[in-house]
Amino acid sequence: MQFQQVRDAIIATLGADSAALPAVNQFRVISYQRQAESAVSALNQSIQVFYNAGDFPKSGGSFVGDSVKHKPTFRLEMTVASKAKGNLSGLEAATTPAEASAALATFFEASSIVDKAMDQLWSDVWNILMDAKNETFDLPIGAISSRWVSGFQKDNPTPKGEIVLLTANAILSCDVDEEVIGVTGTLGVDFDVTVSDINGDTEQKTGTAGTLGET
Mean pLDDT by 10 residues, the chain (215 residues): 86 93 90 52 77 74 68 93 69 72 74 91 96 92 88 88 87 86 64 58 53 48
Residue 215 domain-assigned (yes or no): no
75 SS3 class? strand
Residues paired with residue 148 on neighbouring β-strands, in sequence order: 173
Residue 24 domain-assigned (yes or no): yes
* pLDDT at residue 37 in the model: 44
Residue 206 domain-assigned (yes or no): no
CATH code of the domain in which 93 resides: 3.30.2000
* pLDDT at residue 135 in the model: 92
Instruction: Count structural domains, the chain.
Output: 1
Residue pLDDT, tens place only, 161-183: 678 889 999 999 998 887 776 65
Residue 134 domain-assigned (yes or no): yes
Range of the domain at 111: 2-179
Residue 98 domain-assigned (yes or no): yes
Give me the phi and psi of 179, to 5 degrees please: -85, 130
Residue 12 domain-assigned (yes or no): yes
Burial 124-133 (b: 16+ CB within 10 A, else e): bbbebbeeee
The burial of 33, by beta-carbon neighbours within 10 Å (0-12 exposed, 13-18 middle, 19 or more buried), is given as exposed
Residue 187 domain-assigned (yes or no): no
Residue 128 domain-assigned (yes or no): yes
What's the chain's average pLDDT?
A: 78
* pLDDT at residue 8 in the model: 93
Cα 167 to Cα 45: distance, rounded to the nearest angstrom:
10
